[in-house]
Amino acid sequence: MILESVVSIVLILSVRGVSMNKLLATLILGLSFSGAALILSVPLLFKSKPEQFELVFAAGSAGAFAVFAVSCLVLRKQFNR
């Protein structure tokens, strides 16, 4: 399901005239920022009683990282075609 939505977003943006190089560069930038947030959230999980905000931040960072990673892989496959 996520893969289908990522493919549809890529196709919509490519139809609107956004170059694939810019789109891939933006996705890689988002991947690096979400990866940095994920790295920063790891120490918060090893506290004795993590707060709700810390858990949500870690889960959101992991989710964003996964979405950006899948998007980059799908777009790379589109480039190879």
25, 34, 54, 67, 76 from 28: Cα distances, Å: 5, 10, 25, 11, 11
Reported as a pLDDT band with limits 50, 70 and 90, residue 45 is confident
Coil/strand/helix, residue 81: coil
Query: What is this structure's pTM?
Result: 0.69
| % of the chain beyond a pLDDT of 70 | 77
Reported as a pLDDT band with limits 50, 70 and 90, residue 1 is very low
Domain of residue 70: give its range. 2-80
Total domains in the chain come to: 1
